[in-house]
Amino acid sequence: MMNEMAQTATLPESGRRIGEVILDLKNISLRFGGVKALTDISFDVREHEIRSIIGPNGAGKSSMLNVMNGVYHPQEGTILFRGEPRQQMDPHMAATQGIARTFQNIALFKGMSVLDNIMTGRNLKMKTNLFQHALFWGAAQREEIEHRKKVEEVIDFLEIQSIRKTPVGRLPYGLQKRVELARALAAEPTLLLLDEPMAGMNVEEKQDMCRFILDVNDQFGTTIVLIEHDMGVVMDISDRVVVLDYGKKIGDGTPDEVKNDPDVIAAYLGASH
Amino acid sequence: MLYREAGQFKASYEEDQQIFPIRQDRVGMAVLLAFFFLAVPMFASQYWLQAILIPVLIFSLAAIGLNILTGYAGQLSLGSAAFMAVGAFGAYNFMLRIDGMPFLLGIVLGGLSAALVGVAFGLPSLRIKGFYLAVATLAAQFFIVWALVKFPWFSNYSSSGVISAQEIQILGYAFTTPESKYLLTLAVVTVFALVAKNLVRSTTGRRWMAVRDMDVAAEVIGIRPMRAKLSAFAVSSFYCGVAGALYAYTYLGTVEPEGFNLDLSFKILFMIIIGGVGSILGSFLGAAFIVLLPILLNVVMHSTLGSAMPPGLGSNLELIIFGGLIIFFLIVEPHGLARLWQLGKDKLRLWPFPH
Amino acid sequence: MGFFFEVLIGGLLSGVLYSLVALGFVLIYKASGVFNFAQGAMVFFAALTFVGFMEVLPGWTGLEAGSRAVFWFAFVLSLGAMVVLGVLTERVVLRPLVNQPHITLFMATIGLTFLIEGIVQAIWGSHVRGLDLGITDEPIEWILDSADIIVSKFDVFAATLAGVLVASLALFFQYTKVGRALRAVADDHQAALSIGIPLQHIWAIVWSVAGFVALVAGLIWGARSGVQFALTFTALKALPVLILGGFTSVPGAIVGGLIIGASEKLAEVYLGPFVGGGIEGWFPYVLALLFLLVRPEGLFGEKHIDRV
C-alpha cells in the first residue's frame, strides 16, 4: 500500500505536486461554554502540501486540529472533505476517511511495546474478528504477519528498529514522539495532522523529525497539517501558513507573504526571529 | 547458562509471534503440562485434588476473566462473583431443561449467558469511567444475586435456593472421581487460558489495551471505544461464567446464590492485584496464592497455637494479611507476582555472567 | 397518605446516615483525589472502638459503667484512635502511592478496608454489641397524636446531630486557615504546593476529620442497628449517594443521601411487593446507574471537559 501510494503520487523532479483542495474549512466558530476558542476561521488544505498553523499560545491551534479530525464539534461553519460537506463526525470517522494525527502531549499507549503501538495504528485495516483472534490461526495469523511486514516498513523508515520491543513508557521523549509519528503513519493516512511534533526536542532531534516529515510528504505524497512553534522550521518546510491569534485568523499565505504581513508581525513582535 | 536466547534466531514473523519465543520456555511449558496432566492425577491425594488444585484452576479462570476486563481493557469490576453465579445457574438450567444437553456445551452456554448479562451491565462503561464504573458493577453484584434468590425458577424451585449440579457425563463417561473432575477442569482451563493468550496478543487485545491506556487517542486511530469495552465485558463475563459453572459442577457440587457474594468478587480482584494486573500467568499465580494462603495460615496457627487459638482470630488474621498484601503489592510491585517471575527470568538470562 | 409520609420521613431520616458516610468520602476525595472505599470500614472501626472502650474503661479507671464520664472518655479515646488511623493511612498508604492512577489508589483503599476490618475485630472481637446513646427509638407523641404519623425520636435526634455536624464542618472550611488551605488543595494540588501549603499535613487533617465524621456516623448507626460487621455493608450505600450528588460536593452528599434514603424505602414499600421484596439491597445502585446515564457528573458535580 505504501509503495502503491508512492507510485500514484508520481512526483516531478522539481518536488511535490500540489493538488486539489482536500480539506476546506469555512467560517468555523467553536465555543466552550462562554469561551470562544475559534471565531469565524476559513482556510483550505491542498493535496500533497505541507500546511502549517502558527500563532501564540492559546491562539486556538490545537482546537483547530481537534475540529479537523472530529474531536471537537464547531458550533458554526462547514467543513468540506474532498468536496463533501460533513456534519457531525467523530474521530473514528475521521480515521476511516484517512485522517491520522499526533498529539501535543504524547498520546501513546504507555503499557504497550513500540511494536504493539504501531500495530494498533493499523487497526482499521484489520478485518479478522474476535473469534478468529481467539484461535490465532489461519486468517488471523496471516493477517497479523502481513500487517507486521507493513509495520516493519514504517519502523525501518523512521529508524526505530532497535526499540521495537521496548515498552513506550521507558523511551526518552524524542523517541516517543517518533513512535507516535510511526503509529500515525502505519494507518497510511492521506491527511496527517501533526501537533507540535518538535516541541521539547534538541536541535539534532528536530533535524531528524524535519527530515521525516519532508520524507513522508515527498515519498508517500501525504498531505500534512503542522502546528509548530519553531519559526525557522515552519518557514523552511511549509508550502503555506495560516496564522491564528486569539482564535481569529490574522494571516494566510506562503511563508514569505506571512513573514511580511504587518498584522502577523504585530502579533509576533518580539516573539520570533 | 541454561536459560539463554543467544543463538535462537527468528527467521520469520511467525516465529517472532510465538507465545514462548525462547526455546527453554517452550520446553518448560511442555514439562509443566505433562506434570499437571499425567503426574498429578496419579500421585496427588484426594484432598489436594478436590480442595486445592480444582479451586485454584477455577479461580485462575475467573481471574483471567477479570484480568481481561481490568488488566487489559482497564475497566474495574467488583461484580465478578455475580457473573460466576450467572454462569453456574445458567449451565444448571440449560442442563436441567434441555434433554441430552452435552456437558461442555452446557457450561459454554452458561458462559454465554454471563456474557450477555455482562454486556448489559457494561453498557454504562460507555459513559462513565474508573470508580464510577466500579459502582455500576456493584449494582450488578447485588442485583444478580438478589434476582437469583427471588425468582425460584432459576434454582428449579428448590426451597433454599440451593442447586445441586447434575452428574457430569461426556460421551457416556461419568466424571465422578476427583481425578476425573480435576482432569476435566484442567483441560477446560488450559484451553481457555490459551484462547485468552491469543486474544490479548492479537488486534482484539491491542484494542483493549489502547482503550485502557488512552481512550481519546484510541478513538483517533479508529478504534471504537464502545466496541472494545463491550467486547471486553463480554469475554470477561464469559470467562467468569464458565468458571462459575465449573465451580458448581467440578468443585462444590451444590451452590447457592449467596455463595457468589461481594467477598468472592473481592477475592478475585485480589488475585489479579497480587498475581499481576494484565498478565495471564499472573492470574494463575494470584489464584494459587489466594487459595493457598488461608490453608497455610490455618496449618501454621494450629501447629503453633493448637487449641489455644481464640475463635475468629484466623479469619481476622486472614483479613489483615490480605489487606496488607494488597497495599504492599500496589506500592512495591504493582505488576504482582508475574512481574517478579519475569524479573527472575531476566536475571537467569544473564546468569552466571551478570555484566 | 399518612402512611406515605411516614415511609418518606423514615426514609429521609435514614438517608441522613448515608449522607454522613458520603460526607467522609467527599472530604477525602476533594482533598486528595482518593476514592476512599474504606470509609465504611472506618465507620465500623470507630463504632467498635467506641463500644470497646465503653466496656473496658470502667474496669481500667474505676468509673461507673454507663456513666456520662465513661461515655465522653471513650469518645475522646475513639476520636484519638481515628486520628491515629487517619495519619497512619496518609503515611503508609497514600504517600507512597502519590501520583499513581486513581484506580490504583482505589484498589489500595479496598486493601485498607480489609486491613482495618481485620485489625479492629482482632482487637475487640467480632461479636455483635449494642450501643445505647440514651435516646429511645420511639414515636414522637405529639406528631403521632396530631397527624397520625410515626416519626422516631431517635431519627430526629440523629438528623439534628448530622445537621449540626455538617453546619460546623461548613463553617470550619469556610473560615479557618486550615479550611482555606484545604479548599486550595482541592482546587489544584500543584498550585497549592507552590504557595507553600503543606499537602501532606492537609491530607492527614482531612483523613482525621473524615475519621471524626465516621465516628459520629458509627455511633448513630451502631445505636440504631447494633455494632456489627454489617455496618460496613450499609456503608456501601454511600456509593450511590456519591454518584447522585457528585464526588466533590458537600451539599450533593447531603441531598444525595436524602434522595437515596427516601427512594429506597418508598421503592421497597411500593415496588417491592410486585417483585418479591428485598429490593432495598440493589435499588440505590440501579437508581444511581440510571442517573449516571443522564447526568454523569452528578447533581452538583462539575462538568468535565476532556482535553487533548
Residue B30 forms contact with A (CB below 8 Å)? no
Predicted pLDDT of residue C75: 94
Residue B178 is part of which domain span? 45-350
Contacts of A136 in chain B (CB under 8 A): 198, 201-202
Give the single-character DSSP code of B70: I
Give the single-character DSSP code of A90: -
Same domain, A182 and A197: no
Residue C108 is assigned to a structural domain of this protein: yes
Contacts of A104 in chain C (CB under 8 A): 308
Look at B231 and A136 and tell me if their CB atoms are within 8 Å.
no
Note whether B185 and B250 are within 8 A (CB). yes
Look at C305 and A32 and tell me if their CB atoms are within 8 Å.
yes
Candidate from A103, A124, A135 with C-beta closest to B217: A103
Helix (H, G, I), strand (E, B) or coil at B27: helix
Residue C273 forms contact with B (CB below 8 Å)? no
If one counts the domains in chain B, the total is 1
C-alpha–C-alpha distance, residues A242 and A251, integer Å = 6
Residue B252 is assigned to a structural domain of this protein: yes
Overall average pLDDT of the A184-199 stretch: 94
Look at A187 and B216 and tell me if their CB atoms are within 8 Å.
no
Same domain, A42 and A5: yes
Residue A66 forms contact with C (CB below 8 Å)? yes
**For C35, nearest residue in chain B (alpha carbons):** B131
Same domain, A42 and A75: yes
Residue A43 forms contact with C (CB below 8 Å)? no
Same domain, A183 and A125: yes
Residue B30 is assigned to a structural domain of this protein: no
Q: Which of residues 50-89 of A touch B (CB under 8 A)?
A: 69, 71
Note whether C172 and C250 are within 8 A (CB). no
Predicted pLDDT of residue A3: 45
Contacts of B322 in chain C (CB under 8 A): 111, 114, 118
Residue B26 is assigned to a structural domain of this protein: no
C-alpha–C-alpha distance, residues B216 and B195, integer Å = 28
Chains that touch C (3 or more CB pairs under 8 A): A, B
Same domain, A204 and A246: yes
**Greater pLDDT, B6 or A155:** A155
Burial class of residue B344, CB neighbours in 10 A (0-12, 13-18, 19+): exposed
Q: What letters, b where the CB count within 10 A reaches 16 and e where it falls short, cover A243-261?
A: bbbebebbbbeebeebbeb
Q: Is the pLDDT of residue A272 over 70?
A: no
Contacts of C277 in chain B (CB under 8 A): 150
Contacts of C112 in chain B (CB under 8 A): 323, 327
Identify which of A9-13, B29-33, B219-223, B242-246 has the greatest average pLDDT.
B242-246
Share of chain C above pLDDT 90, in %: 22
The size of chain A, in residues, is 273
Beta carbon pairs, B and C, within 8 Å = 131
Candidate from B214, B231, B278 with C-beta closest to A130: B231
Beta carbon pairs, A and C, within 8 Å = 7
**For A111, nearest residue in chain B (alpha carbons):** B213
pLDDT confidence tier of residue B106, bands split at 50, 70 and 90: very high
Phi first, then psi, for residue C181 (nearest 5°) are -60, -40
pTM (two decimals): 0.91
Q: What is the CA radius of gyration of chain C?
A: 20
B40-46: long-range contacts at Cβ-Cβ below 8 A with a sequence spacing of 24 or more?
A: B40/B182, B41/B179, B41/B182, B41/B183, B44/B182, B46/B178
Q: Is the pLDDT of residue A13 over 50?
A: no
Strand partners, A99: A191
Look at C93 and B325 and tell me if their CB atoms are within 8 Å.
no
Residue C223 is assigned to a structural domain of this protein: yes
Share of chain C above pLDDT 70, in %: 97
**Greater pLDDT, C283 or C299:** C283
Q: Is the pLDDT of residue C92 over 60?
A: yes
| Full DSSP string of A137-157 | -THHHHHHHHHHHHHHHHHHH
Same domain, A94 and A123: no
Contacts of B131 in chain C (CB under 8 A): 35, 102-103, 106
Contacts of C234 in chain B (CB under 8 A): none
Note the helical H segments in A17-166: 61-68, 91-96, 114-121, 130-135, 139-157
* Mean predicted lDDT score pLDDT of chain A: 88
Q: Is the pLDDT of residue C301 over 70?
A: no
Residue C270 is assigned to a structural domain of this protein: no
Look at B139 and C286 and tell me if their CB atoms are within 8 Å.
yes
Q: Which of residues 67-96 of B touch A (CB under 8 A)?
A: none
CA-based torsion, A109, A113, A118, A124: positive or negative? negative
pLDDT confidence tier of residue A12, bands split at 50, 70 and 90: very low
Which CATH number fits the domain that encloses residue B180? 1.10.3470
Helix (H, G, I), strand (E, B) or coil at A260: coil
Provide the strand spans (E) within A10-66: 21-32, 35-46, 50-54
Same domain, A85 and A167: no
**For A149, nearest residue in chain B (alpha carbons):** B13
Look at A111 and B212 and tell me if their CB atoms are within 8 Å.
yes
Share of chain B above pLDDT 90, in %: 72
Overall average pLDDT of the B163-175 stretch: 91
If one counts the domains in chain C, the total is 1
C188-211 pLDDT, tens digit each = 777 887 888 887 888 888 888 999
The CB density around residue B191, as the number of other CB atoms within 10 Å, is 10
Same domain, A161 and A198: no
Overall average pLDDT of the A68-81 stretch: 90
Residue C95 is assigned to a structural domain of this protein: yes
Which CATH number fits the domain that encloses residue A80? 3.40.50.300
Predicted pLDDT of residue A156: 95
Same domain, A82 and A202: yes
Instruction: Give the closest residue to C116 by CA, choosing from C230, C40, C204, C50.
Output: C40
Chains that touch B (3 or more CB pairs under 8 A): A, C
Q: Is the pLDDT of residue B35 over 60?
A: yes
Residue B278 is assigned to a structural domain of this protein: yes
pLDDT confidence tier of residue C33, bands split at 50, 70 and 90: confident
Q: How many degrees, rounded to 5, is the angle at CA C288 between CA C161 and CA C243? A: 60
Give the closest-approach CA distance of C160 to chain A in angstroms.
40
Residue B223 forms contact with A (CB below 8 Å)? yes
Predicted pLDDT of residue B338: 93
Same domain, A1 and A80: yes
Look at C308 and A32 and tell me if their CB atoms are within 8 Å.
no
Instruction: Give the closest residue to C245 by CA, choosing from C237, C235, C254.
Output: C254
pLDDT confidence tier of residue C1, bands split at 50, 70 and 90: low
Contacts of A124 in chain B (CB under 8 A): 221-222
B267-312 pLDDT, tens digit each = 999 999 999 999 999 999 999 999 999 999 888 888 887 776 676 7
The size of chain C, in residues, is 308
The size of chain B, in residues, is 355
Note whether A217 and A224 are within 8 A (CB). yes
Q: Is the pLDDT of residue B352 over 90?
A: no
Residue whose cell numbers read 468555523: A28
Best mutation target among B221, B233, B280 (most A Cβ atoms within 10 Å) is B221
Candidate from C122, C278, C289 with C-beta closest to B150: C278
Q: Is the pLDDT of residue C13 over 90?
A: no
If one counts the domains in chain A, the total is 2
Give the ipTM of the model, two decimals please.
Answer: 0.89
Residue C256 is assigned to a structural domain of this protein: no
Chains that touch A (3 or more CB pairs under 8 A): B, C
Best mutation target among C21, C105, C107 (most B Cβ atoms within 10 Å) is C107
Overall average pLDDT of the A153-164 stretch: 94
Residue A125 is part of which domain span? 107-188
Q: What letters, b where the CB count within 10 A reaches 16 and e where it falls short, cover A92-102?
A: bebbebbbbbb
The residues, any chain, with a CB within 8 Å of residue B98's CB and separated by 6 or more, are: none
Residue C152 is assigned to a structural domain of this protein: yes
Give the single-character DSSP code of C152: B
Candidate from B199, B214, B221 with C-beta closest to A95: B221
Residue C252 is assigned to a structural domain of this protein: no
Q: What letters, b where the CB count within 10 A reaches 16 and e where it falls short, cover B208-246?
A: bbbbbbbbbbbbbbbbbbbebbbbbbbbbbbbbbbbbbb
Same domain, A59 and A111: no
Residue C307 is assigned to a structural domain of this protein: no
Contacts of C308 in chain A (CB under 8 A): 62, 66, 71, 103-104, 107
Best mutation target among B17, B197, B203 (most A Cβ atoms within 10 Å) is B203
**For A195, nearest residue in chain C (alpha carbons):** C308
Residue B2 is assigned to a structural domain of this protein: no
pLDDT confidence tier of residue A8, bands split at 50, 70 and 90: very low
Predicted pLDDT of residue A9: 42
**For A63, nearest residue in chain C (alpha carbons):** C308
Note whether C186 and C29 are within 8 A (CB). no
**For C238, nearest residue in chain B (alpha carbons):** B135
Q: Is the pLDDT of residue C296 over 90?
A: no
The amino acid present at C297, given as its one-letter code, is E
The CB density around residue B354, as the number of other CB atoms within 10 Å, is 7
**Greater pLDDT, C145 or B234:** B234
Residue B40 is assigned to a structural domain of this protein: no
Phi first, then psi, for residue C153 (nearest 5°) are -60, -45
Candidate from A110, A133, A183 with C-beta closest to B202: A133
Predicted pLDDT of residue C166: 82
Predicted pLDDT of residue A7: 40
Residue C86 is part of which domain span? 2-233
Best mutation target among C99, C303, C304, C308 (most A Cβ atoms within 10 Å) is C308
